[in-house]
Amino acid sequence: MIFLKTLISFLRDREYRGLIFASFFVVVVGTIVYHFVEGWTWLDALYFSVITLTTIGYGDFSPQTEVGKAFTIVYIIIGVGLILAFINTVYLHFSKVNEKQKSK
């Protein structure tokens, strides 16, 4: 229950909306590019985008075209920092809300 309350308060905060939008935008752009450049299904392209940006990198998909490889280099440089900032911000927000709940 606390997770849901934290998530809702996170979404209501104007300060975090830009970060949410930017993170979502980067994942969507990656999904679109991989779908058209590599010819992957929408789900495979989304999967690869998320796996790449979270640095999990299972290795079950990899770009095969020159354009796909070049895009991936730029995508990682831009996207990993953004996604990690998003994850860190969510964690810090969750910790702050959790501390408030404990102090009550």
Count how many residues are written for the chain: 104
Mean pLDDT of the chain: 87
Number of other CB atoms surrounding residue 38 within 10 Å:
20
Report, in angstroms and rounded to the nearest whole number, the Rg of the chain calculated over CA atoms.
Answer: 16
In tens, the pLDDT along 72-94 reads 999 999 988 888 888 888 788 77
Domains of the chain: 19-95 (1.10.287.70)
Helix spans in the chain (H):
2-12, 14-38, 42-53, 66-103
Residue 9 has pLDDT above 80, yes or no: no
